Amino acid sequence: MGSNVAVIGTGYVGLTTGACLAHLGHRVVCADVVVDKVEALSRGEVPILEAGLDELVHEGIHSGLLSFVLGAAPAVADAEFVYLCVPTPQGEDGSADLSYIQAAASEIGPHLQPDTVVINKSTVPVGSTRVVEQALGRSDVAVVSNPEFLREGSAVHDFLHPDRVVIGADDQSAAIRVAGLYLGLPAPLQVTDPASAETIKYASNAFLATKISFVNAIAAVCEAVGADVNDVVLGMGYDKRIGDAFLRPGPGWGGSCFPKDSRALVRIAEDAGYDFDLLKGVITVNDDQFERVADKVQRMVGGDLSGTTVAVWGLTFKARTDDLRDSPSLQVIRRLLARGATVQAFDPAVDPVEGSHDSRLAGIELAADAYGAAQGAAALVVLTEWDDFRWVDLDKVAEAMTHPRVVDARNLLDRAALHRRGFEYEGIGRS
Ligand code: UDX
Ligand code: UDX
């Protein structure tokens, strides 16, 4: 027997959550404040790129288990469970901005049935369960923290095959009811208090960011001592205590979570009287990495970027998503533009016409394909690890460029094949 669920906010997290819960047999109403989005979703049109999500949304609409409404209040009238999945952007001082969460909670408060459980999925500072309780203004409604661990691009898979389900609640019966929503998922269930659940989310993302900054720092050492970071990571990964996940060197980490969550955790610690120097270092290494990649391109073209054309492959913050939020690619491009380069970019998930209206892409010339980006370029820099880039015709790329030079910031391309065709090549932590 499925439950009645409302999901407030149909972004990357909310839409995945709603569609997956409908797939598990629950009756789900998803709410959003954007009229066009609600209309498109009601027709089965998914506005984001997320593997398997289209299919689940169609399945849910077809079975009648998934529907979409405008505004939070109309979604919650019959709900036994309400998920809050609205954004928690970074505020001016690095802390998380809770205004969307508070507004959503105040809006739904008067419309909830007694005994409804409100589930916080948005990433919120420790103690926010209380903030939601206050905004709801309901003593008969429990608030539970249930952080998401969904990677964009494999969010549906991550939801249906989680490493764990974490539920933070003061009210044990509410925790058990929420656990019931996930029955059938093959995952360990951890029930804890709200503060611990909220900390688990921040600590997990901060640890993953730490692994990546660590490997990017090791890559810098490799460059200095003449080692190859790919081999170093392979050798480290055989040690089961280390593992090889999240140790791919790159242009730095980005996306909608790591940058804001790592800064928020520094702030949470500071407010609590702990100076989280280690995590500050992790963030600094990441900021330096954007600079290091821009420096590599500058060196490769002879030391001066002004007046040169640089080709960029990849704009999204990683492959298999269309998300540009806090993309390392844009960080590197900003630096190239500031040093006087003209940037011609191609990304398989960014339409050149639509992209030309996106303020985040201002100043970038968008090409229709990988060859178009390379046309007349003095160097090419690979910033997102799209598989498509592995299969381009390298002879055609060399012909299009004024000089065949590649900075491969994802260590993605076939170095030997590039060398055979006369390309100058530099990767991250390997030359
Ligand atoms: C989520 C979480 O909310 C955030 O805390 C977490 O750290 C990252 O992931 P995400 O799903 O990626 O955010 O956000 P986004 O894609 O921006 O979607 C949010 C949705 O909520 C949008 O569709 C927006 O229109 C909607 N929204 C926003 C509301 O419905 N009500 C509001 O008041 C604000
Ligand atoms: C992250 C968390 O992984 C997920 O559990 C959830 O909390 C939301 O935030 P997401 O932001 O979608 O997911 O992407 P993720 O796959 O974690 O990658 C984050 C960034 O790190 C990307 O810029 C990616 O390119 C980079 N990365 C990742 C590396 O540079 N090297 C790696 O080995 C792994």
Per-residue pLDDT tens digits for 401-416? 999 999 999 999 999 9
Average pLDDT estimate for 219-233: 97
Half-sphere exposure of 118 (CA within 13 A, CB side): 38
CA distance 27 to 7: 11
Taking the mean position of all CA atoms in its chain, how far away is CA 87? Answer: 13
CATH topology of domain 4-191: Rossmann fold (3.40.50)
pTM value is 0.96
**Is the pLDDT reported for residue 96 higher than 90?**
no
Relative to the CA of 85, which ligand 1 atom is closest?
A: 3
The pair of structure tokens assigned to 96 is 């998380």
Whether 70 lines ligand 1, by a CB cut-off of 6 Å, is: no
Burial group, residue 62, by CB count within 10 angstroms (0-12, 13-18, 19+): exposed
289-309 pLDDT, tens digit per residue, is 999 999 999 999 999 999 999
Q: What is the pLDDT of residue 94?
A: 78
Residues with Cβ within 8 Å of residue 88, at least 6 apart in sequence: 96, 97, 98, 100, 101, 122, 123, 124, 260
First-to-last alpha carbon distance for the chain, in angstroms, is 58
**Is the pLDDT reported for residue 330 higher than 90?**
yes
Whether 87 lines ligand 1, by a CB cut-off of 6 Å, is: yes
CA distance 345 to 361: 10
The preferred substitution site among 210, 212, 387 for testing ligand 2, maximizing ligand atoms within 8 Å of CB, is 212
Longest dimension (CA), the chain: 71
Whether 3 lines ligand 1, by a CB cut-off of 6 Å, is: no
Q: What is the pLDDT of residue 126?
A: 87
Find the ligand nearest to 206 CA: 2
Q: Within 80-127, where are the H helices?
A: 99-108
Whether 147 lines ligand 1, by a CB cut-off of 6 Å, is: no
Q: Let me know if the fold of 4-191 is the same as that of 193-431.
A: yes
Q: How far is CA 270 from CA 101, 128, 265, in A?
A: 23, 17, 8
Average pLDDT estimate for 202-224: 98
**Residue nearest (by alpha carbon) to ligand 1 atom 12:** 12
Considering the candidates 20, 85, 222, 257, report the single residue annotated as catalytic. Answer: 257
Average pLDDT estimate for 366-387: 98
The DSSP secondary-structure symbol of 40 reads: H
**Is the pLDDT reported for residue 230 higher than 90?**
yes
Determine contact, residues 169/119, Cβ cutoff 8 Å.
no
Catalytic, 222? Answer no
Average pLDDT estimate for 65-77: 97
**CA 246 to centroid of ligand 2, rounded, Å:** 8
Whether 209 lines ligand 2, by a CB cut-off of 6 Å, is: no
CA distance 180 to 102: 26
**Is the pLDDT reported for residue 343 higher than 90?**
yes
CA distance 384 to 181: 36
Q: What is the pLDDT of residue 22?
A: 98
**Residue nearest (by alpha carbon) to ligand 2 atom 6:** 149
**Is the pLDDT reported for residue 18 higher than 90?**
yes
**Is the pLDDT reported for residue 276 higher than 90?**
yes
Find the ligand nearest to 249 CA: 2
Q: What is the pLDDT of residue 348?
A: 98
Relative to the CA of 153, which ligand 2 atom is closest?
A: 12
Whether 33 lines ligand 1, by a CB cut-off of 6 Å, is: yes
Relative to the CA of 37, which ligand 1 atom is closest?
A: 23
Where do the structural domains in the chain lie, given as residue ranges? 4-191, 193-431
**What architecture is the 193-431 domain classified under in CATH?**
3-Layer(aba) Sandwich (3.40)
**Is the pLDDT reported for residue 138 higher than 90?**
yes
**Residue nearest (by alpha carbon) to ligand 2 atom 1:** 151
Torsion of CA 302, 304, 309, 315, to 10 degrees: 100
Find the ligand nearest to 211 CA: 2
**Residue nearest (by alpha carbon) to ligand 1 atom 5:** 122
**CA 253 to centroid of ligand 2, rounded, Å:** 7
Residues with Cβ within 8 Å of residue 340, at least 6 apart in sequence: 304, 305, 306, 307, 308
Whether 10 lines ligand 1, by a CB cut-off of 6 Å, is: yes
Find the ligand nearest to 203 CA: 2
Parallel/antiparallel/unpaired status of strands 342-346 and 309-313: parallel
**DSSP assignment string, 254-293:** -SSSHHHHHHHHHHHHHHTT---HHHHHHHHHHHHHHHHH
**Is the pLDDT reported for residue 91 higher than 90?**
no
CA distance 251 to 386: 14
Average pLDDT of the residues of the chain: 96
**CA 211 to centroid of ligand 2, rounded, Å:** 11
- Sorting pLDDT into bands at 50, 70 and 90, what band is 65? very high
**CA 248 to centroid of ligand 1, rounded, Å:** 28
The pair of structure tokens assigned to 153 is 């691009």
Determine contact, residues 324/358, Cβ cutoff 8 Å.
yes
Q: What is the pLDDT of residue 302?
A: 98
Residues with Cβ within 8 Å of residue 224, at least 6 apart in sequence: none
Of the chain, the percentage scoring pLDDT greater than 90 comes to 95
Q: What is the pLDDT of residue 400?
A: 98
